[in-house]
């Protein structure tokens, strides 16, 4: 294992809607890479909007259950192509033009084995460490792993894993700090105001009040689970402001901190 301090950064799929946004974020990250060689970075990404577009073009209806995309087997070629193919390579292209040295991976190469989460969700997966990860070698070599949220099972089945859950699993495996870069500046309260910190009781209350719903509910629950495993706070902030990422990497408090 590398002795570098590792950061796992999860990029919200909407960042793909703007090439400039991804480029600016990677440029900010490259500034940090050049300044401090003792840190390593792993980027995990989704791509929900791209998947929606591909499925719609193919004539499929899409449905979600508690923020998770129901993924029937017949839709998986499109989901895999969108996430592990198009989205991954689009982000690689932006990382390269920003001066980084990315490597595109799926969850299997990153050291996670995937199994079916719930039969009713189809090919939605959950992942566990399998002890054979390429990430440490990549980080020692100064590369930036760009990991799509596509997983592979022991029987060769393909799975669509929630990217937030995948990022949390990788952070746990690597003992890394974890940052969720999402579409919003922070988690918001019922009045639409940003919350600096959230603990389990507050999260439970806001979910019960339907203040936190859908994809944000998945993200907050995943963040809390990760914070407990990592035994430290996990941050949710916005990819729309690259300076937020730099501030977090420098130890500043930006966005919402989910406490264990």
46 given a catalytic annotation: no
131 given a catalytic annotation: no
Catalytic: which of 12, 46, 117, 164? Answer: 164
Beta bridge partners of 91: none
241 given a catalytic annotation: no
Beta bridge partners of 113: 128
Catalytic: which of 13, 47, 111, 255? Answer: 13
59 given a catalytic annotation: no
Tell how strand 158-161 and strand 150-152 pair up: antiparallel
How far is Cα 164 from Cα 255, in angstroms, rounded to an integer? 16
Helix (H, G, I), strand (E, B) or coil at 210: coil
Residue ranges in the chain assigned as alpha helix (H): 19-35, 48-57, 76-80, 88-97, 135-140, 163-174, 200-208, 214-230, 242-249
164 given a catalytic annotation: yes
How far is Cα 243 from Cα 24, in angstroms, rounded to an integer? 10
Starting at the edge strand that comes first in sequence, how are the strands of the sheet with 256-258 ordered?
A: 102-105, 144-148, 39-45, 5-11, 177-182, 234-238, 256-258, 197-198
Helix (H, G, I), strand (E, B) or coil at 222: helix
Catalytic: which of 47, 48, 111, 151? Answer: 48
Catalytic: which of 125, 151, 215, 219? Answer: 219
Catalytic: which of 4, 10, 221, 241? Answer: 10
Helix (H, G, I), strand (E, B) or coil at 158: strand
Q: Give yes or no for a contact between 157 and 99, defined as CB atoms under 8 angstroms apart.
A: no
Where in the sequence numbering do the catalytic residues fall? Answer: 10, 13, 48, 164, 219
């Amino acid at each position: 294992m590398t002795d570098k301090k590792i950061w796992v950064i999860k990029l919200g799929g909407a960042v793909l809607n703007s090439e400039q946004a991804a480029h600016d974020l990677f440029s900010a990250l490259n500034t940090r890479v050049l300044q401090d060689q003792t840190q390593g970075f792993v980027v995990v990404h989704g791509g929900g909007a791209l998947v929606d577009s591909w499925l719609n073009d193919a004539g499929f209806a899409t449905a979600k259950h508690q923020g998770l995309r129901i993924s029937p087997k017949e839709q998986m070629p499109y989901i895999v192509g969108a996430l592990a193919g198009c989205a991954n390579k689009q982000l690689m292209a932006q990382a390269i033009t920003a001066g980084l040295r990315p490597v595109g991976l799926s969850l299997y190469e990153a050291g996670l084995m995937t199994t079916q989460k719930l039969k009713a969700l189809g090919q939605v997966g959950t992942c566990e460490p399998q002890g054979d990860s390429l990430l440490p070698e990549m980080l020692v070599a100064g590369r930036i792993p760009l990991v799509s949220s596509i997983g592979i099972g022991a029987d060769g089945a393909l799975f669509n894993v929630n990217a937030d859950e995948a990022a949390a699993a990788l952070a746990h495996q690597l003992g890394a700090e974890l940052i969720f870069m999402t579409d919003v500046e922070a988690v918001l309260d019922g009045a639409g105001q940003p919350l600096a910190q959230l603990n389990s009781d507050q999260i439970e209350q806001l979910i019960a009040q339907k203040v936190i719903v859908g994809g944000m509910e998945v993200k907050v629950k995943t963040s809390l689970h990760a914070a407990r495993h990592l035994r430290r706070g996990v941050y949710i902030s916005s990819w729309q402001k690259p300076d937020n990422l730099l501030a977090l990497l420098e130890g500043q408090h930006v966005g919402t901190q989910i406490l264990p």
